[in-house]
Chains A and B, each alone.
Chain A
Amino acid sequence: EAEVAQSPRYKITEKSQAVAFWCDPISGHATLYWYRQILGQGPELLVQFQDESVVDDSQLPKDRFSAERLKGVDSTLKIQPAELGDSAMYLCASSLTKNSPLHFGNGTRLTVT
């Protein structure tokens, strides 16, 4: 079964540094999501793409976070500068359409020191 690929699996960075995460969704999935999950909590939506367009980034801290999906396929989420409070699991998910079940990658565990 096709999977959503994410890299890196783990990332440790110092505060004020830049960090980037990559996601390759399941082929043909038009909708792509980035979620942040703090330990013990549910995933919080950061940004949602429909093809290459952002359809919801209302919860994305735009002063330090950016996301792109240039060709409507893979996506990159960037944080610059990282802060201690950014330590969390960053999950990417894709779906065939915006009303379809989500398929998640295994996430990137970020630790900011």
Chain B
Amino acid sequence: SQQGEEDPQALSIQEGENATMNCSYKTSINNLQWYRQNSGRGLVHLILIRSNEREKHSGRLRVTLDTSKKSSSLLITASRAADTASYFCATDRGMDMRFGAGTRLTVKP
């Protein structure tokens, strides 16, 4: 069974715009991670935010975590065509890692 739910399921934007994806989950977590997947490939880890953190940055990525609402968001600033991919949140509950259904991001040049 999957733990997280991403919203929206699909997002299409122009190059240079910002992209925001949201993730909601159901149970308490140790940390939440975001991954990226290009078509037909494995997932690549982007960023990890611990349950006691509220915001984290990595390059053009900004992640927020609200444990009271059991939700997280991933912001990609100044998007590029190469950012086109599926993005997944994954919740670490201490004993396993569960993924959501993902957001399919398309960045048009």
Contact = CB atoms under 8 A, between A and B. Distances in A.
Interface of A: 4, 33, 35, 41-45, 48, 55-56, 59, 91, 93, 98-99, 101-107, 109
A58 to B, nearest CB: 9
A105 B1 CA distance: 22
Interface of B: 1-2, 4, 30-31, 33, 35, 40-45, 48, 88, 90, 92, 94-102
A40 to B, nearest CB: 8
A91 B42 contact: yes
B42 A45 contact: no
A104 B44 contact: yes
Given A56-B96, A98-B95, A99-B92, A42 B41 contact: no
B41 to A, nearest CB: 5
Contacts of B102: 41-42
